[in-house]
Structure 1
Amino acid sequence: MTLALHTIKKPQGAAKKRKRVGRGNSSGHGTYSGRGIKGQKSRSGVSNLKRLGMRQVLLRTPKKRGFKSIHPKEDVVNLVDINKNYQAGESVSMSSLKKKGLIKKTSPGVKILANGTLTVSGLVFKGLKMSAAARKAIESAGGKIEE
């Protein structure tokens, strides 16, 4: 027999027939539909998870609330971190912050906040968002801000 699309058959035992329940006694699964007589297991609407040992696990799982925002949050870098990782005259940009490990490599953006004081002078900030207080602290320390 030649192999063609219309001659391909499933191997024996690959397609198991579904158990049809409650369709007459001659089927072998009539009357009680394989559930036995009476008792909690024979009733409808009882999930196996509740009945078996999963009840405590179900109760312990926290309920999901709220939603996850589709807008990515930008990473925060404080002036204290910049003080520790940069010397005078260096430029601070997204790429330099990633190299120094101050932000994640997949970070969507950065915002510089004025937590701490900036003692390093002559820093050049390129293309970074910053708070008004951070901007003031950078300019007072002799730094430049390039948009």
Structure 2
Amino acid sequence: MKLNDLRDNQGARKGRVRVGRGIGSGLGKTGGRGQKGQTSRSGVSIFGFEGGQMPLHMRLPKRGFNNIFAKDYAEVNLGQIQKLVDAGKLATDGTIDHAALKAAGVARGGKDGVRLLGKGSFSAKLAFRVAGASAGARQAVEAAGGSVEVIEVTPAAEKAAAKKNSVKKRTNG
């Protein structure tokens, strides 16, 4: 194989369809939109519209709700932390907080901090500084000789609101 033999796979670079460019293109005149009517015009977005019939999203029953005040915790099991300690990916000296768990790749997301859960076996003597811990997790950590400090975390929504208000005060005052 030579450099001049290198090329993309067949169909890898497909040009976009240019509609309304003459009768010879196959998509000239009406440009694939049919004749007349609302959808032949520009600026039409009728997603979910069913011609006046009650739309599906309104016909189906609704259940539950979305709690806008719910806290977003990164949930971490003690078994996962024990595996990291055994593998040497998590330092056992000092306190283990959200940043340390995030760096180790265990705490994904969690805008409002980390919550420890008691699943799995745990034997490392560690000091945790987290936003929350289940009773079982706290018991397991203390049984292993460690400690759990639960810190008060300001929810991300409140932080954003406070930041927005401080910007308003600066611009008004």
Name the residue aligned to 2:79.
80
Kept in 2, the 8 Å contact 1:75–1:103? The answer is: yes
Moved more, 135-144 or 106-115: 106-115
Unmatched 5+ residue regions in structure 1? 1-46
| 1:140 counterpart = 2:154 | no
- The 1:133/1:82 distance shift into structure 2, 3 A limit, reads same
User: Which structure has more RCO (C-alpha within 8 Å, separation ≥ 6)?
Assistant: 1
- Greater helix share, 1 or 2? 2
Kept in 2, the 8 Å contact 1:88–1:122? The answer is: no
| 1:117 counterpart = 2:121 | yes
- The 1:105/1:76 distance shift into structure 2, 3 A limit, reads closer
- The 1:132/1:70 distance shift into structure 2, 3 A limit, reads same
Aligned-CA RMSD value: 2.8
1-structure distance, mates of 2:68, 2:57: 28
Name the residue aligned to 1:104.
108
2-structure distance, mates of 1:94, 1:70: 23
Which runs of at least 4 in structure 1 moved beyond 4 Å after TM superposition? 58-64
Question: If the length of structure 2 is used for normalisation, what is the TM-score?
Answer: 0.44
2-structure distance, mates of 1:88, 1:111: 19
Kept in 1, the 8 Å contact 2:116–2:130? The answer is: no
Question: If the length of structure 1 is used for normalisation, what is the TM-score?
Answer: 0.50
Superposed counterparts of 1:28-67, under 5 Å: 48=51, 50=53, 59=56, 63-67=61-65
- The 1:67/1:129 distance shift into structure 2, 3 A limit, reads same
**What amino acid maps onto 2:125 in structure 1?**
G
**What amino acid maps onto 1:111 in structure 2?**
R
Cα distance, 1:59 vs structure 2: 4.8
Identity percentage of aligned residues: 34
Q: C-alpha deviations, 1:58-102, integer Å up to 9, x for none?
A: 559965433211123423211111111235624321111222222
Name the residue aligned to 2:66.
68
Q: How many residues align?
A: 94
Kept in 1, the 8 Å contact 2:112–2:131? The answer is: no
Larger Rg: 1
